[in-house]
Amino acid sequence: MTDRAVVFIDGNNWYHAICNAGVRDRFRLDYRLISLKILGPREWMETRYYIGRVSQTGNPQLYSDQRRFVASLERTDARISVHLGRLEQRVQENDAVIELQRYLANLPGRIDAAIYRDLNDIVRKHRNVQVMVEKAVDVMLAVDLVVMAERDLFDAAYLLSADGDFTPAVEAVRRHDKKVYVVSPASGAQLARVANAFIRVPCEWFDDCYSP
């Protein structure tokens, strides 16, 4: 009986994990080669890449880069598909500025008045920053993971993420007698506790996973 496998990629978490691991030329990575290497002898059914959609009206360069990346992924192999959630702009406090403000408030001695004034101006101007937050991406991946297990569309799932928020979904999939393997260069203690195995891949693991 064939051992059918599907790869689920949490694009944002995976990208930051490979960045932090020092993986080079990240946009030249070949996800057909990555999928085949991860699965080994199992039958590769498909690879599903989940990411937030960049708005055309926001950052034109980022929008263009994402479109090229998505097109490249989908050209690589018919078994690779991209599933787009949303990116929404949010205002959040700048941690570095808050730390600077705390430092200034607790200075043990006096500093030059002009320097102190300039630093406080920086605090006021940069206390809040605009950030882009993914919406619906993790939920979409988790739902697909569970529903596809219920429909018996795979025997083993490979989750490329170290995000502990997927723990309930992994537990649900395993209750359907399916195997779940988590893969990441980063650590993920929560997922490691519930998956069949947590496969930690170092930077050099990717050396033979590049397109020409």
Whether 189 maps to a domain, the answer reads no
The number of domains in the chain is 2
Whether 190 maps to a domain, the answer reads no
Residues 109 and 37 in one domain: no
Residues 74 and 97 in one domain: no
Name the DSSP class of 211.
-
Name the DSSP class of 54.
P
Residues 53 and 107 in one domain: no
Q: What residues make up the domain containing 114?
A: 93-129
Cα 15 from Cα 21, distance rounded (Å): 10
Cα 45 from Cα 157, distance rounded (Å): 10
Using alpha carbons, select from 57, 72, 60, 64 the residue that is nearest to residue 25: 72
Cα 14 from Cα 3, distance rounded (Å): 25
**Which residue reads 């085949």 in tokens?**
36
pTM of the model: 0.79
Do the Cβ atoms of 162 and 191 come closer than 8 Å?
yes
Residues 199 and 98 in one domain: no
User: Which CATH number do you get for residue 73?
Assistant: 3.40.50.1010
Residues 71 and 158 in one domain: yes
User: Per residue of the chain (212 residues), what is the pLDDT tens digit?
Assistant: 569 999 999 999 999 999 999 999 998 999 999 999 999 999 999 999 999 877 767 678 878 888 899 999 999 999 999 998 865 565 567 777 777 777 777 777 777 888 777 777 887 777 766 555 555 789 999 999 999 999 999 999 999 999 999 999 999 999 999 999 999 999 999 999 999 999 999 999 999 999 88
| Tally of helices (H runs) and strands (E runs) in the chain | 8, 7
